[in-house]
Copies of this chain bind each other. A is one copy, B any other.
Amino acid sequence: MNTFGNIFRLTSYGESHGIAIGGVIDGCPSGIEVDMAFVQEELNRRRPGQSKITTPRKESDEVEFLSGIYEGMTTGTPIGFVIRNNNQHSSDYDNLKDIYRPSHADYTYAQKYGVRDHRGGGRSSARETIARCVGGALAKLALKQLGIDVTGYTSQVGHIKLENDYSLYDLSQIESTPVRCPDMDKANEMITLIEDVKSKGDTIGGVITCVIKGTPVGLGEPVFGKLHAALGFAMLGINAVKGFEYGDGFDVNHRGSEINDVFYNDNGKINTRTNHSGGVQGGISNGQDIYFRVAFKPVATVLMLQDTVDTKGEDTNLKARGRHDACVLPRAVPIVEAMAAMTILDYYLLSKLNKALI
């Protein structure tokens, strides 16, 4: 299942240490102006080696579009693209050929398919998410034409957590720190923590918050295509994600009377006084800001000796080599945005059909 979406559909392919990562975007409406510099910039935000707190691997990650764009404009035909792998150190993984790394996908892939490309995690590598960033960049360009904006940021690393609601931060500051957090003090604390964890060869997780502004009323396809279910599905499909909540989420110790979002007449427009619903009611967007939180576990690759088994099931141990992130959160922000943007565009397109005959 390497296709994501109903109408705007991304099909992704590629292994970490294979020839290339790539994809096909089908169902993209015609007439979207493709700002190539913007697309590449989105890939750069995900790229390793972009700052001192990410892995030092240098991957250029340049996208080549192969079809579906003519004279700078989408034509409505499928958009094929490819990103060549060209800085892969496959030999870093030679010692893993016959070993299952703990909390990686080595064992499960091997059992599922009977065949496995062990180099760099193969298909299970987060390198695959490059294809999503390309799809997300296209979706963002389409959403921009619709006045919809998707912004993610790191809201927690380990125990360091933003105290406030997204609405109290200046989200335009996110890119000004390598950790992608709008609170500069907390950002510095997070960076210090990540560097400390990294120096020990260990890893750490956290939470990304995402806010979508400008969504019209009516996106979401109940009962099984609720908008938040689609967003949750998108987020849970990102490597290392362990949880998703929107609106009040797991904060359940409130009474219905406290958290109902009361409607009022806001100068002729229907508005809500609060937004505990996170912009979605009954699975359909209500025109308020959509916001949600995504939990990431620590990366499984730690540069420490760990017990494990080999492919014959015998006890052994391993110590990972190579260039890895101690914390993926900063680089995961553009991936969260990409998946959110594709979801919102997909559901925007679906919503055009609801009243198509009225």
A168: interface (CB < 8 Å): no
**In the complex the two chains form, is B111's CB within 8 Å of A218's CB?**
yes
**In the complex the two chains form, is A229's CB within 8 Å of B237's CB?**
yes
Complex Cα distance, B281 from A321, in Å, reads: 21
Complex Cα distance, B350 from A202, in Å, reads: 36
- A65 and chain B: residue at smallest CB distance: B19
Complex Cα distance, B75 from A122, in Å, reads: 10
In the complex, per-residue mask of A134-178: 1 if CB is within 8 Å of any chain B CB, else 0: 000000001001100000000010110000000000000000000
**In the complex the two chains form, is B250's CB within 8 Å of A295's CB?**
yes
A44: interface (CB < 8 Å): no
Q: Quick one: which of A267-295 are within 8 Å of B by CB?
A: 268-270, 272-273, 276-278, 281-286, 293, 295
**In the complex the two chains form, is A26's CB within 8 Å of B14's CB?**
no
Instruction: Give the copy number.
Output: 4
Contacts A115-B31, A260-B306, A297-B259 given: A77-B283 contact, CB under 8 Å? no
For A315, the chain B residues whose CB sits under 8 A away are: 264-265
Complex Cα distance, B146 from A298, in Å, reads: 34
Contacts A13-B79, A205-B252 given: A1-B112 contact, CB under 8 Å? no
A76: interface (CB < 8 Å): yes
A82: interface (CB < 8 Å): yes
Complex Cα distance, B243 from A293, in Å, reads: 9
Stretch of A50-58, A102-110, A181-189 that contacts chain B:
A102-110
For A145, the chain B residues whose CB sits under 8 A away are: 357
Complex Cα distance, B113 from A75, in Å, reads: 7
For A302, the chain B residues whose CB sits under 8 A away are: 255-257, 260
**In the complex the two chains form, is A109's CB within 8 Å of B284's CB?**
yes
**In the complex the two chains form, is B100's CB within 8 Å of A1's CB?**
no
Q: Quick one: which of A59-113 are within 8 Å of B by CB?
A: 64-68, 70, 73-80, 82, 100, 102-105, 107-109, 111-113
Contacts A115-B75, A265-B315 given: A254-B298 contact, CB under 8 Å? yes
For A107, the chain B residues whose CB sits under 8 A away are: 217, 263, 270, 281, 286
Contact of A32 among B76, B272, B307, B357 (CB under 8 A): B357
Complex Cα distance, B12 from A11, in Å, reads: 10
Complex Cα distance, B313 from A159, in Å, reads: 44
A249: interface (CB < 8 Å): yes
**In the complex the two chains form, is A66's CB within 8 Å of B82's CB?**
yes
Known: A15-B77, A76-B354, A156-B252. 9 other contacts (CB 8 A): A1-B222, A77-B117, A108-B282, A109-B282, A112-B351, A232-B236, A242-B278, A264-B309, A268-B313
